[in-house]
């Protein structure tokens, strides 16, 4: 089948939003330093004037031993920080009812063999994505980094934003060999999030929250953005080292909507989604989907993906350069191509492959994250 490659004409409510899987390398240099006063872990972690404080934990004794080794060897680095203070989770004072991530609750809900079993937590950090990507080779595959507050969160096209308390902000590591399927990974991650939320609702007898996927990697609920995914990779020793980052509004009403606010409106129940249970449910689901994806291909879950996304049969405007002129055409989205782009058909029955048009912008999370690909329906 012969496909034309076209650019999407995008923009809703005055915002231009784009997406892509990027390739990049990081060269970092930093020195870890441990503190002798474990009672100060939380205070140090929340102090904006302190070095970055990382707390390491694991589900099993082997992961805990690895955490001890990383701490004693001053292994972890973070670009822009000359000092990183590293603690073990056993050295951290626990506040069961506080806003901080509860590792015990998370590990008790986790049932994976690889993903999410080694955890790095920070109360306040620039970017979880930078932690896992810059330390990729020193961490076990499947390592996850979670932050309570992230003030330099990374979006697509180098967007930077800040997350409020209540967001689930995490990044984790994956290694892949076939570069042809790396761009499809973001769809598996998106699907794992939506399926995890369904599982939690079903398990607790909650009303169904219809979290949908907006191509290529955003999550929407009731017509508003509730989360997003960013996947980046580097190529080393014939393998792709992928860092996947996810942001999900769990208990924060701003900038738009969150899971708990919709749950309160749906039914007067005492249940609240927690970041810990959602993160564990995500990895429980992702590990199964990822195994299916790697061993049998994305086509095995493609129908489920189409049931979850927003675009089947959607008519959008695309732009095509014709010499010095830009011609706009209306096409109907049919699905995905084998390379992960949108497959659409024009009114002339000609098939085309739609690529996102990439631009750069920056916007504070409190006002709305601008790293968001919007498909523009034709005006009638």
| pLDDT at position 264 over 80 | yes
Residue 363's pLDDT is 28
pLDDT confidence tier of residue 371, bands split at 50, 70 and 90: very low
Residue 154's pLDDT is 55
Separation of alpha carbons 320 and 8, rounded Å: 9
State which of 37-41, 93-97, 164-168, 274-278 shows the largest mean pLDDT: 274-278
Residue 218's pLDDT is 96
Average pLDDT score over residue span 148-155? 72
pLDDT confidence tier of residue 349, bands split at 50, 70 and 90: very high
Nearest to 333 by CA among 320, 317, 357: 317
Separation of alpha carbons 365 and 162, rounded Å: 5
Residue 376's pLDDT is 39
| pLDDT at position 245 over 90 | yes
What lies within 8 Å, CB to CB, of 325 at 6+ separation is none
H helix runs in 215-327, sequence order: 259-266, 275-296, 302-308
Average pLDDT score over residue span 57-62? 98
DSSP state of 216: T
Residue 256's pLDDT is 81
Task: Name which of 30-34, 81-85, 161-165, 166-170 the model is least confident about.
Answer: 30-34
Residue 14's pLDDT is 35
Average pLDDT score over residue span 267-290? 94
Nearest to 28 by CA among 86, 87, 75, 68: 75
Residue with tokens 């992928």: 242
Note the pLDDT tens digit of each residue in 175-221: 999 999 999 999 999 999 999 999 999 999 998 999 999 999 999 99
pLDDT confidence tier of residue 368, bands split at 50, 70 and 90: very low
Note the pLDDT tens digit of each residue in 132-148: 999 999 999 999 999 99
**DSSP reduced 3-state for 203:** helix
| pLDDT at position 21 over 50 | no
Residue 50's pLDDT is 59
Domain spans, the chain: 4-12+312-367, 22-307
Residue % of the chain over a pLDDT of 90: 62
| pLDDT at position 156 over 60 | no
- The architecture (CATH level 2) of 22-307 comes to 2-Layer Sandwich (3.30)
| pLDDT at position 16 over 50 | no
Looking only at the bridges linking them, the beta strands covering 31-32 and 22-23 are unpaired
Separation of alpha carbons 119 and 132, rounded Å: 10
Separation of alpha carbons 217 and 156, rounded Å: 10
Average pLDDT score over residue span 107-121? 98
Separation of alpha carbons 334 and 215, rounded Å: 13
Residue 365's pLDDT is 26
Separation of alpha carbons 145 and 247, rounded Å: 12
| Radius of gyration, CA atoms only, the chain | 21
| pLDDT at position 301 over 60 | yes
State which of 20-29, 259-268, 299-308 shows the largest mean pLDDT: 299-308
pLDDT confidence tier of residue 255, bands split at 50, 70 and 90: confident
Separation of alpha carbons 213 and 232, rounded Å: 19
Separation of alpha carbons 362 and 154, rounded Å: 10
Average pLDDT score over the chain: 82
State which of 7-21, 157-171, 233-247 shows the largest mean pLDDT: 233-247
Distance of CA 343 to the CA centre of its chain: 24
Nearest to 220 by CA among 375, 8, 106: 375
């Amino acid at each position: 089948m012969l496909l034309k490659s076209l650019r999407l004409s995008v923009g809703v409510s005055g915002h231009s939003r784009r997406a892509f899987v990027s390739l990049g390398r990081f060269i970092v240099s930093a020195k870890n330093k441990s503190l002798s006063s474990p009672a100060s872990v939380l205070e140090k972690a929340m102090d904006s004037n302190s070095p970055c404080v990382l707390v390491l934990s694991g589900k099993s004794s082997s992961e805990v031993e690895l955490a001890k080794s990383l701490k004693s060897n001053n292994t972890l680095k973070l670009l822009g920080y000359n000092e990183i203070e590293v603690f073990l989770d056993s050295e951290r004072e626990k506040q069961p009812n506080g806003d901080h991530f509860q590792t015990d609750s998370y590990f008790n809900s986790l049932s994976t063999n690889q993903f999410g079993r080694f955890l790095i937590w920070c109360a306040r950090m620039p970017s979880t994505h930078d932690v896992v990507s810059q330390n990729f080779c020193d961490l076990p595959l499947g390592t996850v980094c979670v932050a309570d507050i992230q003030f330099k969160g990374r979006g697509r096209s180098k967007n930077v934003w800040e997350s409020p308390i209540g967001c689930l902000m995490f990044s984790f590591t994956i290694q892949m060999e076939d570069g042809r399927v790396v761009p499809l990974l973001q769809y598996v991650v998106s699907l794992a999030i939506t399926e995890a939320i369904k599982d939690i609702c079903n398990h607790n007898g909650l009303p169904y929250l219809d979290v949908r996927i907006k191509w290529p990697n955003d999550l929407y609920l009731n017509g508003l953005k509730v989360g997003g995914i960013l996947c980046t990779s580097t190529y080393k020793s014939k393998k792709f080292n992928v860092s996947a980052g996810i942001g999900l509004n769990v208990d924060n009403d701003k900038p738009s909507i969150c899971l708990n606010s919709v749950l309160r409106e749906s039914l007067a129940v005492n249940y609240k989604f927690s970041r810990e249970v959602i993160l564990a449910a995500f990895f429980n689901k992702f590990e199964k989907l990822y195994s299916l994806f790697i061993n049998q291909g994305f086509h095995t879950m493609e129908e489920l993906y189409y049931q979850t996304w927003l675009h089947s049969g959607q008519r959008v405007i695309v732009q095509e350069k014709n010499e010095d002129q830009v011609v706009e055409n209306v096409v109907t989205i049919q699905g995905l191509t084998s390379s992960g782009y949108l497959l659409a058909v024009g009114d002339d029955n000609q098939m085309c492959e739609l690529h996102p048009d990439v631009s750069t912008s920056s916007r504070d999370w409190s006002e709305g994250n601008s790293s968001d690909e919007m498909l523009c329906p034709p005006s009638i």
